[in-house]
Amino acid sequence: MLKRGKSSKKVMTKLSMIWLLSFSLIAPGFALSVETSLPNSALNKFVRRLENADLPNRNGVTLIDLATGQTLHQHRGDRPYVPASTMKLVTAVVALETFGSNFKFTTEATWNAESKSLYLVGGGDPALRSSHLETLADGIATSLGENTQRISLYTDTSLFTKFTKPSGWNPNPMPRYVRNIYSLSVNGLGSYNAPEIAGKELGKLLKARGYKIKYVGSKKSDGVQIATTNGYFLFSIIRKMLQDSDNTIAETLFRASTQASGLKPTWENSRNYAYQVLTELGVDTENIHLTDGSGLSRTNRLTTHFLTSLLVEIVSEENPELNIIYDRRLLSTAGRNGTLKLRFSESRAACARGQVQAKTGSLRDTDSMAGYVENENGSIGVFAFLVNHGVNWYTGNKVRHKMDWIISSATGCN
């Protein structure tokens, strides 16, 4: 069992170039200190635009001044709504509090000399890449030396319980939006055969090193550890999850965090563990309901009050492992990257590009956004929008443009 808040000190392994810039530095978080409050002019414009935006009736909105912690405006802030992918903020917080931002997942190889069986053992790494398996293959070759006998290769995915879909995944989002969740996958490939893909990839690498090896299937290891490989830093995995809104990473972290706490990673245990972490942080969980870690379920319920409270805790000096979400810009930035790259595109909201860090959420009948907005006077607002419009993507597109327009008012730039 891992202790919450403790980070791994293992050395970073070889990285693929596509992720290198994201993973190159270890940087501790630091609490965000803001002394300047949002000006009344920005607040008044925010409220005026919200009143004139004609959002669908089922919506909640909260705006907090970070300097004072004062709620500046709230509309149905305690009413629960379907949050879509803003749920990933919960998953990010739970994972960081469980493992620590500089933690790395470990994937190992075990060997049974008697049966000549090699096992690729999944460690729950949602971002395992071929480069990591290259490192593992080198370690295996070093341990086994020359070996002319035939080797049977198995994958061990016993770390996680068998995956079943949770309530509210309707229509079924697999495999288009999320894969089957295993403790072992490589390069983000596979839905129902991810372990097989990983096993065959390792087998190919070992054949290139002169071994006679055949992938057989999945089986719990009965061997001893002979090699390991470490993945990317957790904070960089979370960056990808938040900016790309990656559902498979989210659900894998949801399970891995629960398993690391000492519980079997079932849906019920994962939900209960998430509630436990949130409660220990002092976040009010009244009126919310957690179903999954990605936000794909339509039975999830969050409030804008909850989301803004969580965002305030993220930048609090009392929660150093969470500070990295803001400090290293793990959230998408308006007009720059991730799910906000193409947002704030209308001329009336374009001046807010670069001034908003947020997590978006979108389902067929839901659009949401929660994050931080930086005013030109140095103040910061914490905001959350949950809109359940229940119509179609066309309506959602209009809702998103209206959100951008309202949030841009808090920057003071228009």
* DSSP-assigned states of every residue in 73-115: EEESTTS-B--GGGGHHHHHHHHHHHH-TT-EEEEEEEEETTT
CA–CA gap between residue 151 and residue 212 (Å, rounded): 6
CATH of domain 31-83+302-411: 3.40.710.10
User: Residue 7 pLDDT more than 80?
Assistant: no
Asked if residues 25 and 119 have their Cβ atoms less than 8 Å apart, the reply is: no
CA–CA gap between residue 365 and residue 146 (Å, rounded): 59
**pLDDT value of position 392:** 72
Average pLDDT, the chain: 92
Asked if residues 254 and 293 have their Cβ atoms less than 8 Å apart, the reply is: yes
**pLDDT value of position 308:** 98
pTM: 0.92
Mean predicted confidence (pLDDT) in 169-174: 91
What percent of the chain shows pLDDT beyond 70? 92
- Tens of pLDDT, residue by residue over 288-304, are 999 999 999 999 999 99
CATH of domain 1-29+99-276: 3.50.80.20
- Tens of pLDDT, residue by residue over 77-111, are 999 999 999 999 999 999 999 999 999 999 999 99
Domain boundaries, the chain: 1-29+99-276, 31-83+302-411
**pLDDT value of position 31:** 66
What percent of the chain shows pLDDT beyond 90? 87
Alpha-carbon distances, residue 412 vs 32, 36, 70, 257, 301 (angstroms)? 20, 14, 19, 40, 32
